[in-house]
Amino acid sequence: MNDQRHSIWHMIMGISVFFLVFFGCYMIAFALIINLTHLSVFWTVMFTGILGILIFSIGLIFMGLIRMRLYRDKYELVPQHMMTEALAEIAKGNFNILLNPSPVDPHSELVEAINDMAKNLGSIENMRQDFISNISHEIQSPLTSMIGFAKLLQDSKLSDEQRIHYGEIIEAESRRMSAMSENLLKLSALDSGINPLNPHEFRLDKQLQNIILAFEPQWLSKNISIELEASAISVHGDEALLAQVWANLLTNAIKFTPMGGQIEIMASTEKIVFKDSGSGIAKADLIHVFERFYKADKSRARSLGGNGLGLSIVKKIIDLHQGRIQIDSQEGIGTNVTVFLPGLHSV
């Protein structure tokens, strides 16, 4: 009620001031006409009205310019030429742009949009540079190893056992490069949407059984016991892509589980869990595990043939299925990887 009274009072005061100012301009015009001319009453009234309106309009324009100047100085409005220059710098590839808009600046939303665009493009550029750096490192390392062992193979004094050993190392490094190339192509295809999902209904429990059997040589060679707890479950998804998810998760579990360790795979209508008794992941590394080329233990990952792309692919596939993945781990105890997928249901 008080706000309404204040609004009415302000309106009355505004109208009163308007008429007082207009009347003052009219009186000034009348005084000028009377003192400077000798017109008849009719023409005096006519020219007084015209001159009064002209003086009033000039006064409004003048006051508006003063108010705009004071407004700009007070709130530091961003000039249009600065926004144009900022956009030109962004077009040149310079993303270190920061404009400081005032909350009352009529262009504040545009200025904020320019700042956000520069920040996001800068982040993308940093990611691109990191990606190139990581790619260069991942390619250079096996190439250096292969070149070194290729030179050693040229030594005629090598025994057959040494030649076989060096040849196996070259083969392993070649396979690592091939796997990295394949993973990069897979990530690129998933990012670009070139290979969209091909979803259909299939038995998830049967798929997990097949994945475990496919990796039997690997877990048997380390004397790892694997337990699968899964009722008859179906899911609507891309069977090939989800098979790659389980294969990557099982590969990681086998890699980092010691001899004689244990891996449990549990599937229900709520979630799929891969639990291992491996070395675990440090808390500081957990937030980075889905980043491309990230390796918690770089030296160990290299000895095990990892390239830091597996979990990136896993997360991308899960995201495409509108699902979620969660990793809980303790060093020296093991790791739990939990996957939540929509549409899991009993058969």
What does the block give as tokens for 276?
């291992």
If one counts every other C-beta atom within 10 angstroms of the C-beta of residue 159, the result is: 8
Which of 291, 208, 221, 286 shows the shortest CA–CA distance to 250? 208
- Note the pLDDT of residue 341: 93
The residue-averaged pLDDT of 95-120 equals: 75
- Note the pLDDT of residue 188: 73
d(CA 181, CA 193): 18
Are the CB atoms for 59 and 87 separated by under 8 Å? no
Are the CB atoms for 235 and 344 separated by under 8 Å? yes
Residue-wise pLDDT tens digits, 241-258: 899 899 889 988 998 899
pTM: 0.57
- Note the pLDDT of residue 299: 47
The average confidence (pLDDT) of the chain is 79
Are the CB atoms for 264 and 229 separated by under 8 Å? yes
If one counts every other C-beta atom within 10 angstroms of the C-beta of residue 75, the result is: 14
What does the block give as tokens for 325?
């993945």
- Note the pLDDT of residue 51: 74
pLDDT band at 6 (very low <50, low <70, confident <90, very high): low
Residue-wise pLDDT tens digits, 158-188: 888 888 988 888 888 888 777 777 767 777 7
Half-sphere exposure of 243 (CA within 13 A, CB side): 16
Angle formed by the axes of helices 108-153 and 80-92, nearest 10°: 10
d(CA 183, CA 248): 11
